[in-house]
Structure 1
Amino acid sequence: MAGTHTVLLTLLPTVLILIVLAGVESAAVKDGKDSEAKAGASKQVFMPASDASNFFKRRGRRSPGTYEEYYAEQRLKMAANERRREHLEEQHDEHENYLEEERDGETDLPV
């Protein structure tokens, strides 16, 4: 009994939404009555080719980089990775030396 109530409660909003949407007319297709509004809208959306070219020139992120730029970025990443590896290796060596000194200090104590 509780299962049917749950199913009905979940289906009720779905049915109501479908009824409301069936009565709504689609706004995707225009009748062409507002030709003046249409011309104004196209002026807002489109721009001259020179302005569009300048827009993309200013935005270097949108255009793919050259091979040289890509290669330079990869070299920088590799150098950073090398520095990071050397730093971690140095930290590891320092830790090993510390542990070795601790072990030596424990063995030197009289029992």
Structure 2
Amino acid sequence: MSWTRVIVLSALTTLLILTFSSVVENAAVRDDSKPADHKGAARQVFMPESDASNFFKRRGRRSVQYYEFQAEQRVLMQKDEQRREYNEEQRNEYENYVEEERDEINERSRETNEQLREYHYDGFYPRSQWFH
């Protein structure tokens, strides 16, 4: 019961602090009596057509270094892909090797166990309860 009282009191305290703080006043919507200047904002965002076409013409010409950089990046990406494929192939080969080795070891141990059973079951000794 005491925990619920502590939680309720702390929640109420936080609510009162937020209600009377200046943060809430700053977050309030301004009440401007004059309308916003939409054409001025449009002038700031948009530029004349001639300036825009000049901008894109300048941006259209790329330097030789840019194309060299792109070619180097393509070569690096190809090398990374080849390295990734090589590593994946090596990992798969190793996993196959380990699986075959494990199977071979299991087969050898199974054969050894069978030979031991045959030795113990040859008729000279009665069958043991552990070898079925």
- Into which bin does the TM-score normalised by the smaller protein fall? 0.3 to 0.5
In our comparison, the structure showing a higher alpha carbon Rg is 2
Q: TM-score, normalised by structure 1?
A: 0.46
Relative to the length of structure 2, the TM-score reads 0.39
